[in-house]
Amino acid sequence: MNLNLILLAICQALMMTTNTLTITTSALVGARLAPDPSLATLPLAAQFLATMLTTLPASLFMGRFGRKAGFILAAVIGVCAGICATVGILSHQYWLFVTGAALAGVFVGFGGYIRFAAAEVVRPDYKSIAISWVMAGGVVAAISGPNLARLTRDVVPDALFAGSFAVTILIYLSIGVIMTAVTFPPPPAPPPVSERTPLKQIITRPRFVIAVICGALGYAVMSLVMTATPLAMAHHHHHFGDTTFVIQWHVLGMFAPSFFTGYLIKRFGLSNILLTGALLGLATVIINLTGQTVTYFWAALVALGVSWNFLFIGATTLLTETYQSSEKTRAQGFNDFIVFTAVTMAALSAGALQHRFGWKMVNLGVLPLLFLILSAVIWLKTLDRKPA
């Protein structure tokens, strides 16, 4: 641990708090402001889409101007997001609120690179631990995001959640101030165009392909099953309190292991942690197909959370080992674009799949993705056995 890593972990926790708050409340606000009930979830969709479209430009910007400039710019955009969302609620302007949600997505597109920045401020052999500790900020977000929304939802009379989004303005400002105190390594000088490694050569490296498969598909599986779970629990007549209990434990399963995932990678090896993540994903499907009581949903979602944690942190760690310093901007940008494209597609399709085909087919539908992840991990183990 060093001061830079601690400050980045704090910023990650604050970022995920605003993200959790936004995801928790956007559909509810949208339902109150939208001119048509079918547009209630559009603000959330706009946030996901904006995150997906921002990932690559954000990486290129930070490659040109540095991490600090990128994260401070993101904080400014976040402040604008909070202002638009708050004013949109106060003035009952639906499209202004949608704009705020989209700007929040742009902020997340930049903020996703905090985990890579963490790997750059520690010694190379501590990358996995640094990434793991920064991701542990999700534990804070799991508790603070929903509770912050609950405590501030009625602060402004007749403007539900306006107080919640006003608080996000202060959080975004705090992130910007903290980022000014972080010391980042200077961005590497770009090589001459004639010496620049073609992107195709970077993204076709076997370990890069494996990292993208594990990170993107693991995230997609988590997003699809998690998003469909509340609908499935409602279909089986479970109380909303039971649903929030299951989702909260799922979020804890996603982030609580981060306190030791990095150490597990160093102790047991990266490929074994990725393999465990894939097997936990399969366990999720088996549990969900076995029963539909609250206990089954709880056990499945905890397993799903830990599965995501091992796959995402493992994939991020693997990715940092696949490129040279001069290649990181394009490598990280391409990876995150693929990851968040997969997440966006999964989140937006979950409701339709659950409604049209049912809970059983949602779970059977993720099996091909899990088998692809398993195949990628076996490929990695084969590469690891080859002599250097």
Q: How confident is the model at residue 314 (pLDDT cuts 50, 70, 90)?
A: very high
Percent of the chain with pLDDT over 90: 52
Residue with the larger pLDDT of the pair 259 and 79: 79
Q: Both tokens of residue 27? A: 């559909």
CA within 13 Å, CB half, 83: 7
Band of residue 37 on the pLDDT scale cut at 50, 70, 90:
confident
Half-sphere exposure of 372 (CA within 13 A, CB side): 17
Q: Specify the pLDDT at position 94.
A: 93
Structure tokens at 221: 């599986």
Mean pLDDT of 153-182: 92
CB 255 within 8 A of CB 141: yes
> 73 CB contacts (<8 Å, ≥6 apart)?
61, 110
Closest CA to 318 of 356, 262, 366, 370: 262
Q: Which two tokens stand for residue 307?
A: 């599965």
User: Tell me, which fold does domain 197-388 have in CATH?
Assistant: Growth Hormone; Chain: A; (1.20.1250)
Scored b (16 or more CB within 10 A) or e, 118-137 reads: bbbbbeeebbbbbbbbbbbb
> How far from chain centre, in Å, is Cα 307?
14
- Where does residue 180 rank: exposed (0-12), middle (13-18), buried (19+ CB within 10 A)? exposed
State both tokens at 84: 């638009």
pLDDT value of residue 72: 97
Residue 388 in this model has a pLDDT that exceeds 60:
no
Average pLDDT over residues 194-213: 89
**272-286, pLDDT tens digit by residue?**
999 999 999 999 999
* pLDDT band at residue 194 under the 50/70/90 scheme: low
Q: Return the pLDDT at 193.
A: 65
Mean pLDDT (whole number) for 157-178:
93
Tell me the C-alpha distance between 230 and 218, whole Å.
20
pLDDT at 83: 97
Mean pLDDT to the nearest integer, 289-314: 95
Average pLDDT estimate for 196-214 = 92
pTM (2 decimals)?
Answer: 0.80
Cβ atoms of 214 and 371 within 8 Å: the answer is no
Span of 64-78, 98-112, 192-206 with lowest mean pLDDT:
192-206
Q: 35-39, 74-78, 127-131, 324-328: which has the minimum mean pLDDT?
A: 35-39
Q: Pull the structure tokens for residue 104.
A: 């929040």
Residue 188, CB-side half-sphere exposure with 13 Å CA sphere: 13
- Across the range 211-228, mean pLDDT stands at 92
**How far are the Cα atoms of 102, 129, 303 from residue 250, in angstroms, in the given order?**
26, 22, 8
Query: pLDDT tens digits for 226-237?
Result: 878 877 888 888
* pLDDT confidence tier of residue 310, bands split at 50, 70 and 90: very high
pLDDT at position 311 over 90? yes
* pLDDT(108) > 80: yes
Which sequence spans correspond to the domains of the chain?
1-187, 197-388
Phi then psi for residue 158, to 5 deg, are 60, 20
Dihedral pair phi/psi, residue 184, rounded to 5°? -105, 150
Q: How far apart are CA 382 and CA 205, in angstroms?
A: 14
Q: Please determine whether the domains at 1-187 and 197-388 fall in the same fold group of CATH.
A: yes
- Going by pLDDT thresholds of 50, 70 and 90, the confidence category of residue 369 is very high
Closest CA to 354 of 343, 365, 342, 370: 365
Confidence of residue 367 (pLDDT cuts 50, 70, 90): very high
Which CATH number applies to 1-187: 3.40.50.2000, 1.20.1250.20, 3.40.50.720, 1.10.1670.10?
1.20.1250.20
The pLDDT of 192-196, averaged and rounded, is: 68
Helix (H, G, I), strand (E, B) or coil at 68: helix
DSSP 282-319: HHHHHHHHH--SHHHHHHHHHHHHHHHHHHHHHHHHHH
316: pLDDT confidence band, cut at 50, 70 and 90?
very high
Q: Which pLDDT value is given to residue 90? A: 94
CA distance linking residue 362 with residue 370, whole number of Å: 13
